[in-house]
Amino acid sequence: MKQPLSAVMLLAASALCHACSSGGSGSGSTTTGTGGTSLTTGGATVPTSSLGGSAGIQQTGGLATSGGVLSSGGATGLGGTNSGGVNGSGGSVGGATGLGGAINSGGATGGASVLGGSNASGGTAGRSGSGGAGGVATTGGSNVSGGSAATGGASGTGGASVTGGSSSMGGSSARGGATGSGGSGTCGAAGSGPIGVLTDPGPGSTGNVAPPNPPGISFKDTDGNLVNAHGGGIIRVCDTFYLHGEYFLSTTTDNDFNGFSMYSSKDFATWKNEGIILPQQSSGELGPNRKGERPHIIKCPSTGEFVLYAHAADVTYQVDKEVIYATSTTVNGKYSYKGPLKNASGATAQHSDMSAFADDTGAYVVTESGHVFTLSSDCHSWVSDKQFSSLNGTTGGIEAPTVFRAGSTYYFIGSDKTGWRANDNFYSTASSMNGPWTYQGYVAPAGKKTWMTQSTWVEPVVGSKGTVYVYWGDHWYGNQDTTNPGVHNYLTTYVFQPLVFSGTAISMPTYQASWKLDVGAGTWSQ
């Protein structure tokens, strides 16, 4: 939450499709760069992109096919080429067996994403080979000679992180996707998915409950209750998004820690209550009469463990403040509290607002005042702390940080230190989490106060045609009131907006009061 004009809340970085083996594919039909090629699946030619292609995806790992191509008439369908890959189990048509595509272990950079494993009439799609480095996304399906339309090849198991991906803005050309944090398990095929409609009921509507004239949405969960998870993050596991945040009581206005809650959704519009994932502790950093804020979950790249980071402090926000962490073997399980995050010498990360991020380069915690902590391989401690003054913008301070990656560019968004009151959030960019970082300016038009929100997360929604980078900002209850802001925060509204890219510049030039998010395609429209 906020500190009196000194420390606010955090955001966190996003990791893309954390437990999935599927990568995003670009929306362009042609690519640029070296290493581009095309694949034919079931009679349909599929364009692929090389590392640095402007419209396709980038992956580390070998070439993969989804389930092989099943032909009719007894011919054997061959999976993708590989070096040392493992063949999956193929389907059969008329007694002929198709060999499942395999995934290279240590294949060439720039491996392709294949669109769809196709089924012949009566055939069964094979499963892709076991995962090496580089997950594969299968989207849609094509018709085989003499066969019926495919239903989509299944994705492989155990794919690792995508290091590129593609991005689109409302269906436009791809701009580069965010990096996944690795993954295991089996995920559904990309390319088909729900379309979420996100509509702000508008001023004076009975659909919102937080006056005066608030932006954002007061979501109701599937049980009919207000969604109550604020100042947190989102992590995607296969086709499900898990939103987690601070749980506020309706009976108090002190904003003391009561627990971190979680909700799940497949379309960003319908949310299921997953319960309290980390409750108040009997004593200690997250005990009674303590602050606990800015929870952000990553999947540790090297261990596959889900790790929740947050910050704790006394009731003044200024004493005994530190980053803490908790762990779980499942994303929506009960998290076991571990204590403060320390380095090998026992030093804590003594900061307030914070966030977390993981990709193929490692795992990080970022904090207010422009600090980047690099985490150990097990994500249970920090090994280095670098501060970048450029991240503090033009006012000398930043809070509510969030980090995400699009293509080869990292983005660090934050707000000025104005307590619960909204301001013009700003961002910086870098080619590495370890900098150097370059200040770029405001996210929304100056004076609009980031559409009356404070940043907390950006979630890359990767689909078959592109990636939508969804900004999540909190409209804190009463943040237009300078006399008593931050009360009744259980009524805080959610502002989800698509980021617009122009090269590597990002913006939210207009407030989208109603828009549609096509999760399967990775595109948005009005």
* 437 φ/ψ angles, rounded to the nearest 5 degrees: -100, 140
CA atoms of 387 and 96, how far apart (whole Å): 61
How many CB atoms are closer than 10 A to CB 47? 20
- Same domain? 320 vs 414: yes
Q: Is residue 176 part of a domain?
A: no
pLDDT tens readout for residues 155-166:
333 333 333 333
Residues 69, 497: Cα–Cα separation, whole Å: 39
- Terminal Cα distance for the chain, rounded: 32
Q: Looking at the domain assignment, is residue 5 inside a domain?
A: no
Over range 50-74, report the average pLDDT: 32
Q: So what's the pLDDT on residue 253?
A: 83
Neighbours of 358 (CB within 10 A): 28
Residues 150 and 251 both lie in one domain: no
Q: Are residues 393 and 461 located together in one domain of the fold? A: yes
Residues 148 and 202 grouped into a single domain: no
One-letter amino acid of 481: D
CB 440 within 8 A of CB 429: yes
Domain stop point among 129, 159, 189? 159
In a domain, 277, yes or no: yes
Q: Which two tokens stand for residue 114?
A: 């294949």
Could you tell me which residue, 146 or 221, shows the higher pLDDT?
221
Q: What is the mean pLDDT of the chain?
A: 71
- Same structural domain for residues 111 and 213? no
Which of 289 and 58 is assigned the larger pLDDT? 289
Q: Is 334 among the domain residues?
A: yes
**H or E, element range at 453:** none
Report residue 289 CA to chain centroid gap. 32
CB 57 within 8 A of CB 23: yes
Q: 422 in a domain, yes or no?
A: yes
Same structural domain, 388 and 477: yes
Residues 95 and 208 reside in one and the same domain:
no
Distance separating alpha carbons of residues 246 and 12, to the nearest angstrom: 14
- Residue range(s) defining the domain that contains residue 132: 22-159
Cα–Cα separations (whole angstroms), residue 160 to 16, 17, 130: 11, 10, 11
* 227 in the same domain as 154: no
Q: Which residue has the tokens 């012949």?
A: 120
Q: 92-125, pLDDT tens digit by residue?
A: 323 333 333 333 333 333 333 333 333 333 333 3
Q: Where are the beta strands (DSSP E) in 284-344?
A: 291-299, 306-313, 322-328, 336-340
Give the span between the Cα atoms of 19 and 510, in whole angstroms: 33
- Percent of residues in the chain assigned helix, strand, coil, to nearest 5: 5, 35, 65
pLDDT above 70 as % of the chain: 60
The answer to whether residue 406 is domain-embedded is yes
| 297 found inside a domain | yes
* Secondary structure in 3-state letters for 393-415: CCCCCCEEEEEEEECCEEEEEEE
What pairing do the DSSP bridges indicate for beta strands 426-430 and 409-415?
antiparallel
**For residue range 164-194, what is the model confidence (pLDDT) as tens digits?**
333 333 333 333 333 333 333 456 544 567 9
Q: What's the total number of domains in the chain?
A: 2
Over residues 439-462, the pLDDT tens digits come to: 999 999 999 999 989 999 999 999
8 Å CB contact between 283 and 333: no
Average of per-residue pLDDT across 60-82: 32
Whichever domain contains 446, its CATH number is 2.115.10.20
Cβ neighbours of 117 (radius 10 Å): 36
* Same domain as 202, residue 115: no
Q: How far apart are CA 358 and CA 404, in angstroms?
A: 9
pLDDT band at 506 (very low <50, low <70, confident <90, very high): very high
Band (396; pLDDT cuts 50, 70, 90): confident
| In the predicted structure, residue 524 carries a pLDDT above the cut 60 | yes
Co-location of 242 and 112 in the same domain: no
Query: Are 210 and 490 in contact, with CB atoms under 8 Å apart?
Result: no
- pLDDT interval class at 433 (50, 70, 90): very high
pTM of the model: 0.67
Whether residues 74 and 152 fall in one domain: yes
Which of these, 248, 230, 222, 170, lies nearest to 509 by C-alpha position? 170
